[in-house]
Structure 1
């Protein structure tokens, strides 16, 4: 069952998707520059979580 979203909800989704995208890029950059293996792994895991959340948010646009 598909529901339509209103303009405000669409704007909010776009904002949240953009924010997740920014987080992904920053976390991946931090992970690449990190020397500590544990911290590097944690940053990459957080980036992966942000990617999953972004995909979940994008599913509402379909």
Structure 2
């Protein structure tokens, strides 16, 4: 079994990583501007989830 990604799979993986990175940055910025504590916490959790997913996806590149 071959463990290498095809060029198309690699491109899709990079796009997914980029999307989760952007989501993390935006959600973090929204949370920093938020005054409602419940909403702020929800945004922070979502930002952390996006970061975790990004890190998981990055592991496929190793």
Structure-1 residue corresponding to 2:49:
49
- CA–CA distance in structure 1, aligned partners of residues 36 and 46 of structure 2: 15
Equivalent residues, number: 61
Deviations 1:13-36 (A, max 9, x none): 000000001100100000000000
Q: TM-score, normalised by structure 2?
A: 0.95
4+ residue stretches of structure 1 with deviation over 4 A?
none
- Cross-structure match for 1:34: 34
Unaligned 5+ runs, structure 2: none
* Structure 1 unmatched ranges of 5 or more: none
> What TM-score results when the alignment is normalised by the length of structure 1?
0.95
Instruction: Note the aligned Cα RMSD (angstroms).
Output: 1.0
